[in-house]
Amino acid sequence: MAFVVCEPCINCKYTSCVEVCPVACFHEGANMLVIDPQECIDCAVCVDECPVRAIYSIDEVPEEWKEFIQINAEYSKIWPVIRDNKPVSPEAEVFRSVKNKRGLFDPRAGTGN
């Protein structure tokens, strides 16, 4: 079973999860990360690294964020792979406690690395 990045990642995009991932399953969008469910090996090391608690096992995604299962599957096919930690944006701390960020989702690709 794969893991899924959910709504709390939007406009935060901390990348500490990427650095601990033993496979290249993270992909970078303009304002969030997603996990490729085909590449994820279900190791769970990324879960504790996420400071906004945005990563869940596919079986444990909260009901209000179920659509992120499809978002991860879809955008992991088109966004670039990210393997290395990047500096956190200044707005990450502001958005860290914001709820209901789904409307802020940006479908554009990030730069990856």
Residue 92 lies in a domain: no
State the pLDDT at residue 90.
84
> Has residue 29 got a pLDDT over 90?
yes
Q: Which domain holds residue 61?
A: 3-82
Return the amino acid letter for 38: Q
Q: How many domains does the chain have?
A: 1
> Has residue 43 got a pLDDT over 90?
yes
Start-to-end CA distance of the chain, whole Å, equals 26
Residue 104 lies in a domain: no
Residue 103 lies in a domain: no
What residues form DSSP beta bridges with 29? 109
pLDDT digit string (tens) for 74-110? 999 999 999 999 998 888 999 999 999 999 999 999 9
Q: The domain that contains 39 carries what CATH number?
A: 3.30.70.20
Question: Rounded to two decimals, what is the model's pTM?
Answer: 0.95
Residue 111 lies in a domain: no
Residue 107 lies in a domain: no
Give the span between the Cα atoms of 64 and 83, in whole angstroms.
28
Give the span between the Cα atoms of 15 and 26, in whole angstroms.
9
Residue 101 lies in a domain: no
Residue 105 lies in a domain: no
> Has residue 71 got a pLDDT over 90?
yes
Which H or E element spans position 26? Answer: strand 26-28
> Has residue 73 got a pLDDT over 90?
yes
Residue 41 lies in a domain: yes
